[in-house]
């Protein structure tokens, strides 16, 4: 059942963490130590309009997410698009919280930007239920806080749909943020192939990544379906690509890894990539 949020408490609640101590450490000092152990040597930064990062536990996908965010200059706002793993809540749910809590402290929702997105269409709706048990955006926040310090967010949980729907959702987002586009990073959260032998996972993931860096949402969706690629973030990735259509020519892969890089077990892996769009 979807929780109906009373209008008088919109953007006043605090969304509490649900996977601290599991996907990432519960103490900020431990998070900092882990990020500093995983981050690449000093690297040049660039302005990016968008990025794609994975959302598994930090020991598995943290290096990929960290290497990607380390390349990006600090934005003022981050529109965060994540998959809906639980099936709870509205299909395209914008968090009505005032802020999201992490061990580093609270990250505030950009209320003005959120309202502009909501006013720009009817597909994205305020809903806390979709975010209540969803980890895919929460795990990105401490990494963003480490590199960006102060910024605001617009978290949107995205259910799977079709290309036409994704296009309408992307249009609603872009219309809402168009006046802040130079100050806003669009961030999509996804893992790629799940629980297949590494050789097969890498083959399938190459197919998906090729379509992503070409900014071809239709090809990406078609390849995921035809190749039976078990990526969980089809919706957020497709929406990100459609937001960028005609504005960016190509994406850049920062890092690709599988869980075998951590576990040493190549018999059943999950694939992770980090991509930026300048």
Crossing angle for the helix pair 111-119 and 163-177, to the nearest 10 degrees:
130
Show the domains of the chain with their CATH numbers: 7-277 (3.40.830.10)
Average pLDDT score over residue span 263-273: 98
What torsion, rounded to 10 degrees, do the Cα atoms 236, 239, 240, 242 define? 160
User: What is the token pair recorded at 241?
Assistant: 């690509």
- With a cut of 50, say whether residue 6 has pLDDT above it: no
Residues 6+ apart with CB under 8 A from 23: 55, 56, 57, 58, 135, 138, 139
Residue pointed to by tokens 């809402």:
176
Crossing angle for the helix pair 28-38 and 58-69, to the nearest 10 degrees:
70
- With a cut of 90, say whether residue 42 has pLDDT above it: no
Q: What is the DSSP string of 47-106?
A: --SEEEE--S-HHHHHHHHHHHHTTBPPPSEEEEEEE-SS--S-SEEE---SEEEETTEE
pLDDT digits (tens, 9 = 90+) for 103-161: 999 999 999 999 999 999 999 999 999 999 999 999 999 999 999 999 999 999 999 99
Residues 6+ apart with CB under 8 A from 161: 91, 169, 235
What is the model's pTM? 0.95
Lowest mean pLDDT among 32-46, 86-100, 128-142: 32-46
C-alpha radius of gyration, the chain, whole number:
17
């Amino acid at each position: 059942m979807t929780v109906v949020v009373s209008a008088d408490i919109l953007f006043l609640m605090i969304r509490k963490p649900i996977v601290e101590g599991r996907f990432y450490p519960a103490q900020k000092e431990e998070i900092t130590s882990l990020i500093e152990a995983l981050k690449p040597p000093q690297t040049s930064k660039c302005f990016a309009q968008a990025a794609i990062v994975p959302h598994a536990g930090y020991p598995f996908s943290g290096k990929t997410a960290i290497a990607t965010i380390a390349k990006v200059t600090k934005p003022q706002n981050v529109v965060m698009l994540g998959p809906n793993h639980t099936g709870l809540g509205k299909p395209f749910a914008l968090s009505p919280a005032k802020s999201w809590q992490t061990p580093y402290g609270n990250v505030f929702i950009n209320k003005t930007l959120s309202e502009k997105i909501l006013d720009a269409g009817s597909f994205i709706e305020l809903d806390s239920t979709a975010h209540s048990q969803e980890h895919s955006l929460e795990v990105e926040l401490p990494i963003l806080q480490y590199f960006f310090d102060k910024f605001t967010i617009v978290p949107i949980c995205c259910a799977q749909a079709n290309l036409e729907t994704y296009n309408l959702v992307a249009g609603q987002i872009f219309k809402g943020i168009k006046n802040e586009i130079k100050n806003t990073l669009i961030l999509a959260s996804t893992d790629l192939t799940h629980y297949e032998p590494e050789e097969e996972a890498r083959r399938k993931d190459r197919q998906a990544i090729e379509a992503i860096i070409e900014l071809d949402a239709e090809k990406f969706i078609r390849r995921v379906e035809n190749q039976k690629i078990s990526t969980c973030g089809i919706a957020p990735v497709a929406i990100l690509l459609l937001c960028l259509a005609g504005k960016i020519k190509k994406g850049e892969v920062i890092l690709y890894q599988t869980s075998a890089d951590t576990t040493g077990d190549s018999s059943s892996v999950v694939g992770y990539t980090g991509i930026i769009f300048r």
